Amino acid sequence: MNEPVPSSRSSDQAIRCTRPGCCGAVSRRDAIRLIGAGAAGLALAGTQAAVAGPFEASDFEKLVPADKRLNPDWVQSLFERGSPTIYRGEELRLIGMPVGGICAGQIYLGGDGKLWHWDIFNQHIGTGSDHYARPMRPSSPLEQGFAIRVKAGGLTQVRSLDHVGFGEIAFRGEYPIGTVEYRGIASPVRVRLEAFSPFVPLNADDSSLPATVMRFTVTNTSPGPIECELAGWLENAVCLHSGQPKPVTEVRKPSAGLTLLEHSVAPLPQGEAKAARPDIVFADFEKENYEGWTAAGKAFGTGPIEKSRIPAYQGDVGGTGRRVVNSHAGAPGDGVGDKDTQTGTLTSKPFTIQRDYIQFWIGGGAHKGRTCLNLLVDQKVVLSATGANENRMKRQSFDVRAWAGKTAELQVVDNASESWGNIGIDEIVFSDKPAEPEVPLGERADFGTMALAWIGASDAVEAIACISDGPFPEAAFARLGEGEKPSRTRPCGSLVGRLALAPGEEKTVTFAITWFFPNLSLPQLPRGRHDATRFKSAADVAGYLAAEWERLARLTRLWRDTWYDSTLPYWFLDRTFANTSTLATSTCHWLAGGRFYGWEGVGCCAGTCAHVWHYAHAVARLFPQLERAARTMGDYGAGFQPDTGAIHFRAEHSKHWAADGQAGCILRTWREHQMSRDDRFLRGLWPRVKKSLEFLIRCDGNADGILEGPQHNTLDADWFGQVAWLSGLYLAALRAGEEMAREMGDEPFASQCRAIFEPGRRNVDGRLFNGEYYVQLPDPSHTKSVGSYDGCEIDQVFGQSWAWQVGLGRILDEKNVQRALRSLWRYNFTPDVGPYRAVHERGRWYAMPGEGGLLMCTWPRGMGMRVQEAYDSYFNECMNGFEYQAAWHMIAEGMVQEGLAVTRMIHDRYHAARRNPWNEVECGDHYARSMASYGVFLAACGYEHHGPKGRLGFAPRLSPEDFRAAFTTAEGWGTFSQKAETGKQSAGVAVRYGKLDLRSLSLGVVGGLHPTKATASLGGRQLTATLSVHDDTAEIRFDAPIVLSEGQDLEVELS
């Protein structure tokens, strides 16, 4: 994780994120208000029963009740299969499910089926922690939508496919597929939308298409035949932020099954240039007041603000002169949140348009229509520009030739109260020339192409390159009149498909939106996107999608169906996979050279931060090639120091190593080896991996298995002393190093690792376990350094937790570990964080009063050793990724109910009635650590895999007597199933995609069975195998390696 930084920060600060204030926060005033509201103030009216209570005041004597008093019905629901969650009504308003390709930008599917957010233009939108307490509301910087026009019984009705057009909407999100059902009073049709981007685990190329599919099924519910048309429209938003020189739209039909509109831009032809008249400076904003302008609201203050008075966290805002208009810096308030919530307008005196262009400096938020500069003619907005979610202003211009000689006004608008709820403006000039671009057109970040495509017979669709200027949705069905000049800010085209339906008949049409913006440029990284090495344009992407449509759609649905074809509860499957959608946000990038790169959260905290990303297990199990690339090109590439073996935990972006990140890189290398088909990955990386472990060993000067000296870690400080959780990770890394060394034939190093590990485990248990939980012994030389000391800290047995994820077995004493986890439940889990946070106010808000969670650290034996400075405030918070880590460990150690309860509390916090279920926030949106939720799923399955050795294993923790769930391996995925009856246990491994090379299968023995015999068959063919039983695990080793291909089932029976 990293320090908090305000939402209105400079780009450079967003990259560095190296000081307090970085991720934004709820203001003290808001926190006090929320605490006062308590549980009642944040209850979900009519949506959820209370999960616990009632409590008396005495129950909170220590603020965390020993008796959690969980509602028995809620506890029962943790285990029940249940039913799919369907969101309706007010629950739809905050939904934003990512539906673009992985590492291809960020587009949301709203609860009403409308696409929003549109972060595909390489603008590096920075986010912080504030979207937990203040979730984003749907907004779009461009015009795009779908509508249906129905002719029935002599009447025609036009409805937009969103909450405006239909009164009854139901949303079901099963990432990667979102489904929206539309019904309306007096509507003769029912419409079903299926939205997704192709998603095929183990196939990163097909899963990273810059494309979103919108597939509509229309059913005639009337008693008579109907004719209907479905229209999709898309504005030309190429160069949306840098300014369009000359928009271009082409209609193309490259094949019989594809029709598309492709938007692009072109430079202005030289012939259009003419002798320029002198520029007219309309406003330079260098006076103390807004002379000639009328201010309304509080956002703009009393006059332009001096740059020297702008808060430092906003950085250099650019512009000219000493003063600028800035609705953040100029607004009243005592913090980021207070200032961003102020709204207002600033309207110019009327003027006559007497030059071809209006040039201006603009920065701030990218909220279309809400943080913008508008040109008004006849009191109507005819042109508008927004910022790019960046404080530094850029020069833009309006082309106003269409309104020459008319009277107009300019209006600066700040009507947004959320993150980036501000606008910056400086010098406005009337000129015969557009603003000079800062970079050549072809090199701009938002230069490229975008397309609206129809996948299907071309004779059933009409392409309209430029639609009428009327209101939506009607305008989408009509062409601009001959000779008319469009008055929209940017041209908009549509595709209109025709259908005829008999009573009860249904038909399906498929639209797709594709984009191609290749000029990704992240500081200190190679330029370009991976998809730009495969495609040349948005039309090229659409062509591939259309050509491969049947296969891509089938495999995407197959994965979705395989995931949900399970005995695990629906809520559990939803939550543990929801964060995989982080891959389809601007947290994640696949660079042109093949490197996988990630922020901590969207635009916040650079470098695929080792001490954050090692909590996340989803990417490694679903797209292992991306994690292998991150190890090879990031941790052991740009971040590796060959002279010492240290790994800079932010690669190019830092010069520091982290104890947890270093151990995590070693453990992840072991994991990535396990998710490979052979040992080539490990063999190529082993010399560097060995050196990185030797570096850690040197930090253990007396080889007693306990790290010494400064131990920087994910809580953003150097810890000193003997720290159980960091040394536990070191022990796990030693075990991984031992296993890797042995496979590489390096027995001396394997023995060295074991020789340190054995006394190390004894020392951690002997010195750092206090009878209830593991602690940190202080360093007498650093008594004022932050640490958990005698507190009960959430990650105290993280090393053991990691070991279970990668088959390393027992690291620490079983009884001590389980006692520590029970102490976490006792001292850190609370059904309502409000009372605790009322006393311990410092820290950010990831669980509000009335919401439950697992606190980062508490001090049940008193606060005498707590150092309440700097990043100690983190201990008062509930952070999703850490909670998932503890939850999966609880499940792995048999505390199934407790692990499920922790996971369910997070799930309930992200119910759509409260906030976006697909955006788990920490220091930034779509925070990478939250992909630890996939580890909870793996723990529930008791999953283990070693690709090069052909090993696969399961020991289900939930309903092992009747269990079914998805699995992935190095080269294939499918379904594992298991049933247990008196005297026997049967299991099945069904491959649905790819293949599985298998030499052995291990099963957790159920119900006290003592198997002495194993039988196995593949496709009806009997296999010979050897059975061995160790403790509660039965291993079936096949006499000859077997290969399961798609559609093949392996069946095993123990008796």
Give the pLDDT confidence of 401-414 residue by residue, as tens digits: 889 999 999 999 99
Q: What is the pLDDT of residue 128?
A: 86
pLDDT digits (tens, 9 = 90+) for 824-842: 999 999 999 999 999 999 9
- Beta-carbon contacts of 370 under 8 Å, excluding residues fewer than 6 positions away, are 139, 413, 414, 415, 416, 421
Judge contact between 632 and 672, C-beta under 8 A. no
pLDDT digits (tens, 9 = 90+) for 87-133: 999 999 999 999 999 999 999 999 999 999 999 999 988 888 889 99
Are 197 and 212 members of one domain? yes
> What would the two tokens of residue 913 be?
């009635």
Distance separating alpha carbons of residues 504 and 506, to the nearest angstrom: 7
Are 477 and 584 members of one domain? no
Are 745 and 767 members of one domain? yes
- Beta-carbon contacts of 673 under 8 Å, excluding residues fewer than 6 positions away, are 679, 681, 682, 740, 743, 947, 948
SS3 862: coil
Distance separating alpha carbons of residues 880 and 884, to the nearest angstrom: 6
Are 630 and 778 members of one domain? yes
Residue 27 has pLDDT above 90, yes or no: no
49 falls in which pLDDT band (50, 70, 90)? low
Judge contact between 26 and 130, C-beta under 8 A. yes
Q: Lowest mean pLDDT: which of 48-57, 163-172, 520-529? A: 48-57
The count of C-alpha atoms lying within 13 angstroms of the C-alpha of 650, restricted to the half-sphere facing its C-beta, is 22
Cis peptide before 473 (omega within 30 of 0): yes
Residue 325 has pLDDT above 50, yes or no: yes
243 falls in which pLDDT band (50, 70, 90)? confident
Within-domain flag for 34: no
Within-domain flag for 40: no
Are 308 and 281 members of one domain? yes
The 10 Å CB-count burial string (b at 16+, else e) for 110-149 is: bbbbbbbbbbbbbbbbbbbbbbbbbbbebbbbbbbbbbbb
Are 351 and 472 members of one domain? no
pLDDT digits (tens, 9 = 90+) for 1001-1039: 999 999 889 999 999 999 889 999 999 999 999 999 999
Are 643 and 789 members of one domain? yes
pLDDT digits (tens, 9 = 90+) for 541-555: 999 999 999 999 999
pLDDT digits (tens, 9 = 90+) for 568-616: 999 999 999 999 999 999 999 999 999 999 999 999 999 999 999 999 9
Q: What is the pLDDT of residue 420?
A: 79
pLDDT digits (tens, 9 = 90+) for 719-748: 999 999 999 999 999 999 999 999 999 999
> What would the two tokens of residue 6 be?
């305000």
What is the count of structural domains for the chain?
4
For residue 669, give the CATH number of its domain. 1.50.10.10
272 falls in which pLDDT band (50, 70, 90)? low
> What would the two tokens of residue 274 be?
């003419």
- Beta-carbon contacts of 928 under 8 Å, excluding residues fewer than 6 positions away, are 582, 587, 588, 598, 599, 600, 601, 609, 612, 613, 615, 616, 881
> What would the two tokens of residue 301 be?
């203050």
Q: What is the distance between the terminal CA atoms of the chain, rounded to a whole angstrom? A: 49
The last residue of one of the domains, among 916, 937, 958, is 937
SS3 for 597-645 is: EECCECCECCCCCHHHHCCCCHHHHHCHHHHHHHHHHHHHHHCECCCCC
Residue 47 has pLDDT above 60, yes or no: no
Distance separating alpha carbons of residues 1021 and 873, to the nearest angstrom: 61
Distance separating alpha carbons of residues 50 and 831, to the nearest angstrom: 10
Judge contact between 708 and 727, C-beta under 8 A. no
Task: Quickly list DSSP for 314-367.
Answer: G-----SSSEEEETTTTS--SSHHHHHH--EEEEEPPEE--SSEEEEEEEE---
390 falls in which pLDDT band (50, 70, 90)? confident
pLDDT digits (tens, 9 = 90+) for 779-799: 999 999 999 999 999 999 999
Are 740 and 866 members of one domain? yes
Within-domain flag for 80: no
Distance separating alpha carbons of residues 629 and 635, to the nearest angstrom: 9
Are 836 and 715 members of one domain? yes
For residue 246, give the CATH number of its domain. 2.70.98.40
The 10 Å CB-count burial string (b at 16+, else e) for 52-62 is: beebeeebbee
**C-beta atoms surrounding 65 within 10 Å:** 21
What's the mean per-residue pLDDT of the chain? 93
Within-domain flag for 8: no
Q: For residue 889, with 0-12 CB atoms within 10 Å meaning exposed, 13-18 middle and 19 or more buried, which class applies?
A: buried
Q: What is the pLDDT of residue 3?
A: 39
The reported pTM is 0.90
Q: Which strands, in side-by-side order, build the sheet including 144-152?
A: 155-160, 144-152, 226-235, 492-501, 461-464
SS3 838: helix
The count of C-alpha atoms lying within 13 angstroms of the C-alpha of 92, restricted to the half-sphere facing its C-beta, is 25
**C-beta atoms surrounding 528 within 10 Å:** 15
Query: Which position has the token pair 């650019």?
Result: 318
Calculate Rg over the CA atoms of the chain.
30
The last residue of one of the domains, among 399, 433, 467, is 433
14 falls in which pLDDT band (50, 70, 90)? very low
The last residue of one of the domains, among 377, 400, 433, is 433
Are 213 and 284 members of one domain? no
Within-domain flag for 441: no
Q: What is the pLDDT of residue 257?
A: 94
Within-domain flag for 503: yes
Angle subtended by helix axes 933-941 and 880-892, to nearest 10: 10
Within-domain flag for 57: no
Are 342 and 487 members of one domain? no
Residue 473 has pLDDT above 50, yes or no: yes
pLDDT digits (tens, 9 = 90+) for 623-636: 999 999 999 999 99
Which domain does 396 fall in, by range?
Answer: 271-433
Within-domain flag for 440: no
pLDDT digits (tens, 9 = 90+) for 882-938: 999 999 999 999 999 999 999 999 999 999 999 999 999 999 999 999 999 999 999
Are 864 and 927 members of one domain? yes
Residue 11 has pLDDT above 50, yes or no: no
